[in-house]
Amino acid sequence: MMRMAWDNRECINKVLYDLENISFKDKNILITGGAGFLGSWICDALIANGAEIICLDNISSGLRSNISHLIDSDGFRFIEHDITKPISFNEHIDLVIHMASRASPFEFEHYPIEILKANTIGLMVSLDIAKKQNARFLYTSTSETYGNPLVIPTPESYFGNVNAVGPRGCYDEAKRCGEAYVMAYRKQYGLDTRIARIFNTYGPRIRSDGIYARAIPRFIDQALGGKPITIFGDGTQTRSFTYVTDQVEGLLKLAAYDKANGSIINIGNDKETTIIEMAKLVLDLTGSTSGITYHPLPEDDPLRRKPDISRAKEILGWRPKVTLEEGLRNTIEWFNSKTTFGG
């Protein structure tokens, strides 16, 4: 029997159910980086929730295929544009979500200037749009603002342990600077802002090719292809693997709740998992006989990731629901469907 193409509608319906009474119906929402892995899921959820979406992306790391199913949808408009260049809109915009940025550690080496610009110049363009439109503003920052944290679990009040001039500095410091810009616009112009520090998000549509691949998609691709799993370091370093639907729910609750105005909130799984544990689970779920090879740990690679999500629970009523095993099964199913249908 031919395998059916992977469909995320059931996942999106679960997100809508978990959003309970939150409605974005008829809201005009600008999403920068909307053709990216996470951005495209946000587009899906908001379209299903009745919003009018302007998806803006320069297709540098995002993919047209992530949003191709939305192109003919009512209420969806795609604009190919680099957000570091000014752009204006005639229609009123209610919410701006700034997600535009390369985010894979392998991209840090090749595109440091683009990463810095997306989270400074590009962010200011987005903030100015929100200021002009009196729109609410959500910035997707990152756990990387904490660097290699010395406090575990890590609360939002932790200042971080970051090497500003190291190989990860272009991303870590760009996001820290971005947060400063967002707070400055809030203080100086009274902008309604909220900042999400997101942790190790994965799921269908995450890229596995070349410099874009992060640990989970790389391991799945290697396992399905019968290639050795490549682990950097000894595999004892930990991450906070957060399935994409949990992340989308958290971000949309943060965007929607009035009481979240001015908040900085960790959105991540508070279950700490080692890289070697995750790799072995991928091998088990794929039935792969691939071996594991070990390589030197990159400079400044964080040793632990575990967020304190007390603030997310208190303000948003959010907590992760999808286990790593369930999330990996869904992601592997999507990888298999890509192979079957030549995606």
Catalytic residue among 111, 139, 158, 171: 171
Give the closest residue to 81 by CA, choosing from 42, 47, 30.
Answer: 30
Distance CA 16, CA 23 (A): 9
Query: Does 111 qualify as catalytic in the annotation?
Result: no
The DSSP bridge partners found for residue 55 are 31, 78
Q: Can you tell me the distance from the alpha carbon of 328 to that of 94, in angstroms, rounded to the nearest whole number? A: 35
Question: What would the 3-class secondary structure string for the chain be?
Answer: CCCCCCCCHHHHHHHHHHCCCCCCCCCEEEEECCCCHHHHHHHHHHHHCCCEEEEEECCCCCCHHHCHHHCCCCCEEEEECCCCCCCCCCCCCCEEEECCCCCCHHHHHHCHHHHHHHCCHHHHHHHHHHHHHCCEEEEEEEHHHHECCCCCCECCCCCCECCCCCCCHHHHHHHHHHHHHHHHHHHHHCCCEEEEEECCEECCCCCCCHHHCCHHHHHHHHHHCCCCEEEECCCCCEECCEEHHHHHHHHHHHHHCHHHCCCEEEECCCCCEEHHHHHHHHHHHHCCCCCEEEECCCCCCCCCCCECCHHHHHHHCCCCCCCHHHHHHHHHHHHHHHHHHCC
Catalytic (active-site) positions: 171
